[in-house]
Structure 1
Amino acid sequence: MEQLIKELRLTVGGNGDVSIIHEARWHLPISSYEVSFGRVKRFKMDVLMKMLLFAFQETDIHRAATLADMLLVEELFIRDLIDKMQRTGLIHLEKKGYKLTAKGIDYLEKGIFEEDMEAEQTLILYSTVHDMYFLSEDNRIPEGGGKLPPYRYVAEENIDRAQVVELLSNEGFNSEEEGFQILVTEVTDHEELEAEFIPCIEFQLYDQKQDLFFARVWNTMTSHWDEVLEKQIEEHEVVKWREEMEEKKLET
């Protein structure tokens, strides 16, 4: 860490007009969650299922045998397909016969059919400051952050399941095979685990030529300057830095 700080000092102070007025080390807390999520297998609706749904939409039908006679298909096959459509919520039985649910109408219009898959779990991380979710397995947290003081502008935490679904969809949990797609549909549950702590290195800087105060923050997890943290610090503190400099000038 000390070698890294020396290298960063040289980087930020490489311009002779820029001076370091303060530097600090602190940790950025990162929330860790185990999330359970649902996926579906999406198929293009086959012709027979379409025919059955159209029949239920247009005609009062109670019995599989009636459809089997109409379509010249084995009754057992029709019965299995009706059971499948009831189980997945595409149809329900009323007094007059089988009728399409709102889901059934939607699937018929789109020409798709979806089957639920078993729930899965994965670990994700969430930075409240960045309002960003990322996979735990893709991001190694450097050690030693827990020994540093916390970042002073941490936001309140409130997990957004829609953002988690978007993350999982974009990170390889969706897939496409021959004849069907596998899609993440929802986060069904989440459990908060022990927080992680990212060491960060902050420099408060003054450009004498431009009469400009600004911040640079090195994020050790990403190994990059963190513009989000820099902007947040500047918004809260630049006025104070200038006031402190003016006070020092008056004292001298």
Structure 2
Amino acid sequence: MDKLMNELRLNLLGNPDVSIIKDALWQLPIVSYEVSFERVKRFKMDILMKMLLLSFQETEIRRAATLAEMLLVEELFIRDLIDKMERGRLIGLEKNGYKLTAKGYEHLEKGIFEEGMEEEQIVLFYSAVHDKYLLSAGDASTADEEKLSLYRYAAEGTVDWDRMLELLSKQEWGSEENFQIIVTDIADCEESGTVYVPCIEFQLYDKKQDIFYSRVWNGLTDSWDETLEKRIEEQEVVAWREAMAETASH
């Protein structure tokens, strides 16, 4: 961390008009959550499944054997497809035979079929200061091993399952030529602790422009963090200028 701090300092001082008033090293708390979520495999619907759905839509059929005879296909194969469509809630058995559900009509129109998968688990991280969910906590630890102080403008937030689902839905969970894996819902979410991300802060003065500003290197993203910088500037720039004026007057 000292090496990185020196490299950043040299980079900032590459501008001869800029001076560093103060630097500091502290930690940003990030809350971790254990999240269980549901997924499906999405296939392009094959011709036989379309034919079965169209048959159920237009004809009263209760037995797989009837369809097997109509379509000249093995009964066991037909029964397996019917079981899949029932589990996927595309069809339901009524008094007069199998009927398409609303989901069945929708999937038939779109030409897709979704097959349920086992629940998956992942650890997500939430930065209340940024009001943002993340898949990784980057360079973070679960203990305050270096005894660094916490970010002085740390915030609190509440769990938002919809935004977690949005994040997970945007990820690539694996796909092949004939199917795609889609995240459909969050089944459970439990807070599992807090991790701490080291950050490097510089308080700066540009004499040419006569402005005070901050730069904060976020160890989570390995980049300068405008959100953290803006918050510090909003709270402290006036005090920095007053302190410099008081020093100059003595």
Tell me if TM exceeds 0.5. Answer: yes
**Which consecutive unaligned segments of at least 5 residues does structure 1 have?**
none
Residue in 2 aligned with 1:119? 119
Once superposed, what is the RMSD of the aligned Cα atoms?
Answer: 2.7
CA contact (8 A) 1:39 1:118 kept: yes
Question: How has the CA–CA distance of structure 1 residues 145 and 239 changed in structure 2, closer, same or farther, with 3 Å as cutoff?
Answer: farther
Question: How has the CA–CA distance of structure 1 residues 230 and 6 changed in structure 2, closer, same or farther, with 3 Å as cutoff?
Answer: same
Following the alignment from structure 1 to structure 2, what is the Cα–Cα distance between the partners of residues 221 and 248?
Answer: 36
CA contact (8 A) 2:37 2:119 kept: yes
Q: Deviations over 1:217-251 (max 9, x none)?
A: 122344332222112222333234334444555x5
Following the alignment from structure 1 to structure 2, what is the Cα–Cα distance between the partners of residues 151 and 11?
Answer: 23
2:150 is paired with a residue whose SS is coil
Tell which deviates more after alignment, 139-148 or 16-25. 139-148
**Which consecutive unaligned segments of at least 5 residues does structure 2 have?**
none
CA contact (8 A) 1:144 1:199 kept: no
CA contact (8 A) 2:139 2:219 kept: no
Cα deviation, residue 196, structure 1: 0.8
1:89 is paired with a residue whose SS is coil
Question: How has the CA–CA distance of structure 1 residues 243 and 62 changed in structure 2, closer, same or farther, with 3 Å as cutoff?
Answer: same
CA contact (8 A) 1:27 1:145 kept: no
Q: Provide the TM-score with structure 2 as the length reference.
A: 0.84
Runs of 4+ aligned residues of structure 1 deviating over 6 Å after TM superposition are: none
Q: How many residues align?
A: 249
Question: How has the CA–CA distance of structure 1 residues 76 and 10 changed in structure 2, closer, same or farther, with 3 Å as cutoff?
Answer: closer
CA contact (8 A) 1:34 1:190 kept: yes
> Is 1:106 aligned to 2:106, yes or no?
yes
> Is 1:27 aligned to 2:33, yes or no?
no
Residue in 2 aligned with 1:187? 186
Cα deviation, residue 171, structure 1: 4.8
Cα deviation, residue 50, structure 1: 1.0
Following the alignment from structure 1 to structure 2, what is the Cα–Cα distance between the partners of residues 4 and 65?
Answer: 72
Residue in 1 aligned with 2:148? 148
Identity %: 63
Residue in 2 aligned with 1:61? 61
Q: Provide the TM-score with structure 1 as the length reference.
A: 0.83
